[in-house]
Amino acid sequence: MNTTQSIISVFTLASALSFSALAQDKFSKDFARINAEVQEHSQAYGNLKTATETIGHRLTGSEHGKKAEDYAYATLKSYGFDVKYQPFEVEGWNRISIETKIGSENNLNLINAVTLAHSPVKANVQAQLVDMGNGLESDYASQPEKVKGKIALVYLGVLPGSPAGAGTLHRSEKTAIATKFGAVGIIIINGVKGDILLTGTASVTGKLIPIPAVCIGLENGMKIKEQLKLQKQFASIAMTNFSGMIKARNVIATLKGTELPNEKVVVGGHLDSWDLATGAIDNGIGSFAVIDMARTFKAAHLKTRRTLEFVLFMGEEQGLLGSRAYVEQARQNKQLDQIRFMLNYDMSNDPKGFSTSREEMRTLFTSWGSEINKLDTGFQNLFLSGAGLHSDHQPFLLQGIPTGGAAGGVLPNNSGPYYHSNGDTFKLVDEQGLKNVVRYNAMLSYALANTREIPVTKQSEIQLKDFLKANNLETPLKIAGEWRW
């Protein structure tokens, strides 16, 4: 055999092996079983309805949060799973009282506001109010002393009229920047019409911040911005909050792998919610989809080569507390390398494809997606790759573990504006959209747990550093104090 023939033969063999691997990963019959089981017998919608009616909110560390943990445990147990609690103890936070006033120096008027999480236990400040636009570093750079000793007024997202392509940051990162430049308080304007107040953490670390942070409605905020153009405005913020050690529990249901039990695919979503409403969208639709994915595996008598862990995380809203605890325990037990993939479902609804942090998964994800498309053309087989922060995939991502989940979905019934607000109730949930999360992503979980080879592995520190830079995550991670390079 000459050299050319040898190269051709090797290429042909490699192509054949690649084709063979893909052929072995054809799961059409199993996907059809999953599809039928979910369409006919899904309990996600009913379970979520019951939980919102009988538990209410699911704030971590509260009695409601404990009831949610117990509900998830009992439900998964009833499906025949080996279920365990993973307890953790961390510093928790909740609001007690708030009074915010804005106006001229001697005539301050009460304004509707909500405290942002991890604000100080007690605060009572009064100072001049300064408009800091979008609240980015660039808004402070030209006049770094402008906000020192004052209260910053910041828009939550990107202000209308901002330069094309203007980026934004998380509310916690905007709060960190205001603190860095000497602000004594921050008032964040929600971008949603109707005086909708948004809560959520203002801390990048999950620890108490040094200045009070509140959110006000769009109409009030834009009116104040206009008044600031005409004359000085002042603000006072008086608040009390609780901060202390709380106990919470992740809930883990395990389906042990038949051939590779020490290789693990984690399928997770956060069970907790804020306390302004029942958290039906954030993150009822994600966490109760995960519970129903688990039910589907038992009901359809599905086996997997790798172990599947269905994890309901607590404490996501207060700083990814549960997922951080999970990863830290895996690190201490020297089991991080066992986690081959982490799929995260946070406010997922009616997906049209799959997402992942790793572009190398395109061939497998889209090959599985094409099989799903044959069952339902509503699944468009979209593929998105890249990485972001601020959900329970983050602690896994920062250890170099591949992550992924649903892509291309749209929240039901215009529920986006009610994120983290008192409007996040069960009436916003769409039953078929929730079923679609369950069936498509049960298929993805099944395929990942059964594929002959997962073509990505845990990244080295050098690979991870370059990856995070390429995904523009260096700056937010530095703000959060999580950039370790």
CATH number at residue 428: 3.40.630.10
Quote the domain boundaries for residue 351.
27-91+245-479
Q: Are 293 and 43 in contact (CB under 8 A)?
A: no
SS3 assignment, position 427: helix
Instruction: Answer whether 473's CB lies under 8 Å from 387's CB.
Output: yes
The mean per-residue pLDDT over the stretch 425-452 comes to 98
Please provide residue 145's backbone torsions phi and psi, each rounded to the nearest 5 degrees.
-95, -5
pLDDT in tens, 297-333: 999 999 999 999 999 999 999 889 999 999 999 999 9
Residue 17 included in any domain? no
SS3 category, 87: strand
Domain termination residue (choose one: 210, 241, 272): 241
> Higher pLDDT residue, 1 or 177?
177
Establish if 22 belongs to a structural domain. no
Per the structure block, which two tokens stand in for 476? Answer: 């937010």
- pLDDT over threshold 80, residue 398: yes
Q: What is the CATH number of the domain that holds 116?
A: 3.50.30.30
- If asked whether residues 168 and 55 sit together in one domain, one would say no
The confidence score (pLDDT) of residue 24 equals: 53
Q: Are both 154 and 255 inside the same structural domain? A: no
Assess whether pLDDT exceeds 60 at residue 6: no
Is the model's pLDDT at 7 over the cut of 70?
Answer: no
Task: For residues 30 and 442, give the distance between their C-alpha atoms in angstroms, rounded to a whole number.
Answer: 10
**Domain stop point among 241, 267, 297:** 241
Same structural domain for residues 336 and 281? yes
Whether residues 302 and 254 fall in one domain: yes
The answer to whether residue 428 sits within a structural domain is yes
5 inside domain: no
pLDDT: is 383 or 17 the higher one? 383
Q: Check residue 90 and give its pLDDT.
A: 83
231 or 5: whose pLDDT is higher? 231
Residues 6+ apart with CB under 8 A from 309: 252, 253, 254, 255, 264, 265, 266, 267, 268
Residue 403, helix vs strand vs coil: strand
Average of pLDDT values for 55-68? 96
* CA distances for 276 relative to 62, 95, 398, angstroms: 13, 11, 31
**Which amino acid would we find at residue 467?**
F
pLDDT tops 80 at residue 15: no
Distance between CA 43 and CA 76 in Å, rounded? Answer: 12
pLDDT tops 70 at residue 415: yes
- Asked whether residue 143 falls in the same domain as residue 63, the answer is no
Kindly tell me the sign of the dihedral angle through the C-alpha atoms of 328, 331, 335, 341: positive
Do residues 158 and 293 share a domain?
A: no
Do 413 and 271 meet the contact criterion of CB atoms below 8 Å apart? no
Phi, psi of 437 (to 5 degrees): -60, -45
Q: Tell me if 176 is assigned to some domain.
A: yes
Mean pLDDT of the region 379-383: 98
For 181, other C-beta atoms within 10 Å of its C-beta total 19
Are residues 251 and 399 both part of a single domain?
A: yes
Q: Give the β-pairing of 185-189 and 151-155.
A: parallel
Q: State the average pLDDT for the chain.
A: 94
- The predicted-structure confidence for 66-100, as pLDDT tens digits, reads as follows 999 999 999 999 999 999 999 999 888 989 999 99
Confidence (pLDDT) at 92: 85
Residues 102 and 215 in one domain: yes
Q: Does residue 367 sit within a domain?
A: yes
209 domain residue, yes or no: yes
User: Are both 184 and 140 inside the same structural domain?
Assistant: yes
Give the number of residues written for the chain: 485
Identify any residues that bridge with 95 across adjacent strands, giving them in sequence order. 241
Q: Based on the domain organization, do 237 and 252 belong to the same domain?
A: no
Please, which residues have CB within 8 angstroms of residue 335's CB and are 6 or more apart in sequence?
none
Task: Among 217, 241, 265, identify where a domain stops.
Answer: 241
- Specify if 18 maps to a domain: no
- The count of structural domains within the chain is 2
Q: Please say if the pLDDT value at position 154 is more than 50.
A: yes
* 110 & 37 share domain: no
Do residue 210 and residue 254 come from a single domain? no
Answer yes or no: are the C-beta atoms of 372 and 382 closer than 8 Å.
no
